[in-house]
Structure 1
Amino acid sequence: MGSKNVKIKDIFIDHHKYLGKSENSLKIYDLPPKNMILSPFNLIIDTIDRLLMVNFENDPIYFRVELQIFHKIGKDYPLVILYRKDSLLDLYYTNEVVIENRKKMLTDLFVNISFNQLDSIEYKFQFDDMGLDAYLFLKDKLEKEIEFKIKENTPGRRLDSILSPIGVVNKKPEYFPIVFLNKFGMVIKKNTEIFVKIHGFLRDPVDMPVQMDGAHVYQAHYSFKPIIGNWNNNFTGNINPVILNPPISYISDGNLTYDLIKNTDYYEIKQITGNDDRGQTISIEFSPAIPNLLFIKSKSIIKGRFSCVIDDIQGIFAGEYSLTRTGDTIEFNIQPIKGWQPFPGKLWLKTYNWTSKIQIYDVDDIKIDSYWRRIKI
């Protein structure tokens, strides 16, 4: 019996079918409407120019190496992450520009991490009609050599897009991590030149247990257009309404853009969108739209769905939301439930749950306590 074949085109959710066409009833409102909305959402995007990850086996210290390339101030700079069997991550770079805005994100995601600046890192990271052409050489903090080379030889090599799974690396997440790999490829085994050398010893790249689009591949992948987003960073404090002046259905506030719909005289949030400095976007669409939290009446219960769109690709992942209002307090919950991962077992994103408690004493006095947690499934 041959190995299972996974088709990339089959990993996305039917965005429109999943969301349906739900609408909020006017019966959930009892306060007079005003031209304003209240948003508990935030979305921050961190752009990496290129990304390559290779898994290997039989090394006593490391099991994975990752190469990231950042285009900063007119130049390319490398960041190398060595994944260790003792759960420590070692980061190597030649210029702090690649980590100056990412240290907190990295320490949030990974508990045990070391930062190491080197004088030089040799690398090559290109793509042509035959596929990936990559090389890496550096000396780790033990002053020993880390090296790999990958040269695909597949005429007409085609790239895809995929949401990267996130392992259980932090039981108290600061946000929901969105790592979307556009222009993505798994390293094909056939005709590929590949070696991984750690401390002078050749290590075997790990095989993928399934075929991808009919090809045998390694547990090594790359992306020439990755998009990394932090959705709903944990926050406790005061929030202010977004004033709609003039009242319009498309408005930007901070790092988010809102697509609004008007339910009679109540503005509701149909979609939120964040973008990076390259014009790439991450959007979350809701069905029904998130009601106007300022004006829903006590004892209201609203349940709905959401689906993620990145650039023009719909159905990256999806889930459910629910909210209830009791007096001045709104309880808001988000639960991702649908997505895809290339390995068997529990779906990683289902272990994330977002809870928000919003207390609305007045439009000028609104407090929120929101956080993500990992749950057992």
Structure 2
Amino acid sequence: MKQESVKLINPFRFTLEPMERLLQINFEKDPDTFYIGFEPQYYNDSTYGRGHVILGWRTDGKIDVYYQPSLRIENKTYDTFGKGLNEKIECAFDVASFDIGHKGVQVLYRFTDKYGRKIKLKIHEKNFKKRSPFNLLAPVGASSQTPSYLPLVYLFDFYFVRKNHTVVDIHIGEQSHKLDNLPVTMDGMRMYFSRYSAKPLIVKFNPYSDEHMSVMSLNEREETVRTKDCILELNWQESSPAIRTLRYPTPIYPVQLSFVPPFPDILTMEHNKVKEGIFQISCHPSLGLLIGRYRVIKRENSVKIKCCPTEGWSPIPEKWSLRFLYRREPVYREWPMSYEWKAFIDERSPLNFYMRSSWKRLKR
């Protein structure tokens, strides 16, 4: 007997930013006229290309992006950084060297900024003491004003630049700048606030959407469904599938979205009914959970979905210094709480669905 096909719509998705390593250089307490920090990044990917990027964090909250001609990067990549993109500048770096080894970070960049000034960024760690890196969900979205996605920047092999046995030379034009200090000691050492990751995993959750939606065909009672991008685990309520988890494989560690109760089947959901629950986003166990609430309402041929990470990020600090840092700087835990995602799904004709979705920051 032929098994009956069941239809399902999945309104959730993750996309990956394929960065290989990054370093954040902060001198906010000794600022330049235009910049308060730089962020070197290195890519080696078939989509983006191979090469170096340096974000110039501006005093006005926006960013300038200096990038090598070998790279293909889009403006929308930087929607969620601070107040957004100010300008993209193609740049032939005189020197571009960025490595992370057992001694720490080794960086040397020389280039000319858009104001005609010679820039030198040099940080060479020479500390033979064994590093003790950890994993972190970075609060990069804390200052975003017009986000087009929820930025999940999981930093593996993350550590701060140690002060002892480190050569630092930050020059903008004729002026040198001092790095900001980390307010606590870590592993018995004084640190700069500059920090780096040898394995950044940058995931965009539910990017802005204004497009037709695909409809999946399932076998009835099928509990695990593999698509091109993810793995869905389903619960069945009679003949209706509900999404229990969505797992997105990545080269480092899978990211998982879970719902309690499972996210309802919007195709068979009753009209004028509201369903609510909790969602959780997780990655490696050491990275804790990002927790929030979802709400779904269906009226006629339209469905409205709202998700908000109301509980923020619940970290699992492995060091006492991290516990102290998270208490002292609540932005690490609280930055997602002000994000809200709304989606409107319209059935324009039988099995022809269109979704408009976006993120915004709430005032708290």
Specify the TM-score bucket, using the shorter chain as the normaliser: 0.7 to 0.9
- Once the 2 structures are TM-superposed, how far is the Cα of residue 46 of structure 1 from its aligned partner? 1.0
Among candidates 269, 280, 294, match of residue 307 of structure 1: 280
Name the CA distance, whole Å, in 1 between partners of 2:295 and 2:270. 15
Residues 22 and 40 of structure 2 are in contact (CA less than 8 Å); yes or no, is this contact kept in structure 1? yes
Aligned to 1:184: 158
Question: What 5-or-longer segments of structure 1 have no aligned partner?
Answer: 1-32
| Matched residue SS, 1:347 | helix
What's the secondary structure of 1:236's corresponding residue? strand
Q: How many residues align?
A: 342
2:15 matches 1:44? yes
Q: Output the TM-score relative to the length of structure 2.
A: 0.83
Task: Give 1:269's aligned residue.
Answer: 243
Shift of 1:234: 2.0
2:32 to 52, 59, 75: 59
1:173 is matched with which residue?
A: 147
Instruction: Identify the range of structure 1 (311-320 vs 56-65) with the bigger mean alpha-carbon deviation.
Output: 311-320
Secondary structure of 2:10's partner? coil
In the alignment, which residue of structure 1 is the partner of 2:329?
A: 343
List gaps (5 residues or longer) in structure 2.
316-325
State the AA in 2 paired with 1:376: K
CA contact (8 A) 1:129 1:155 kept: no
2:117 to 109, 124, 144: 144
CA 1:366–1:198 in 2, change beyond 3 Å: closer, same or farther?
A: same
Question: For the structure 1 residues 316 and 143, does the alpha-carbon distance in structure 2 shift closer, same or farther, using more than 3 Å as the test?
Answer: farther
Which deviates the most, 329-338 or 145-154? 145-154
Q: Sequence identity of aligned pairs in percent?
A: 22
Shift in Å at residue 83 of structure 1? 1.4
Q: CA deviation at 1:373?
A: 1.1
Distance apart, 1:134 and its partner CA: 2.3
1:85-104 matches, within 5 Å, as 85-97=59-71, 100-104=72-76
Of structures 1 and 2, the one scoring higher in RCO (CA 8 A, sep 6+) is 1
Residue 353 of structure 1 corresponds to: 340
Deviations 1:207-227 (A, max 9, x none): 122344554322211011111
Aligned position for 2:222: 248
Matched, 1:229 2:216: no
1:53: Cα distance to partner? 0.7
For residue 163 of structure 1, what is the aligned residue in structure 2? 137
| Counterpart secondary structure, 2:145 | coil
Alpha-carbon RMSD across the aligned residues, in angstroms, is: 2.8
Which residue, out of 193, 218, 223, partners 2:192? 218
**Separation in 2 of the partners of 1:280 and 1:210?**
30
Give the one of 89, 101, 105 matched to 1:116.
89
Q: Secondary structure at the match of 1:49?
A: strand
Residue 341 of structure 2 corresponds to residue 367 of structure 1: no
Aligned with 1:349: secondary structure?
A: helix
State the SS of the aligned residue for 2:291. strand
Q: Provide the C-alpha distance between the structure 1 equivalents of 2:233 and 2:105, rounded to a whole number of angstroms.
A: 39
Q: Is the 8 Å Cα contact of residues 93 and 109 (structure 2) preserved in structure 1?
A: no
- What do residues 301-334 of structure 1 show as CA deviations (whole Å, max 9, x unaligned)? 3222122222555534221112233444332110
Deviations 1:23-79 (A, max 9, x none): xxxxxxxxxx96222111121111101100110124222110110011146985111
User: Quick one: structure 1 residues 331 and 75, their matched pair in 2 at CA, closer, same or farther if it must change by over 3 Å?
Assistant: closer
Answer whether contact 1:281 1:310 (CA < 8 A) is retained: yes
Other-structure match for 2:52: 78
Q: Which stretch of the first structure deviates more once superposed, 313-322 or 61-70?
A: 313-322
Q: TM-score, normalised by structure 1?
A: 0.80
The separation in 1 between residues aligned to 2:20 and 2:363, in whole angstroms, is 34
For the structure 1 residues 172 and 93, does the alpha-carbon distance in structure 2 shift closer, same or farther, using more than 3 Å as the test?
A: closer
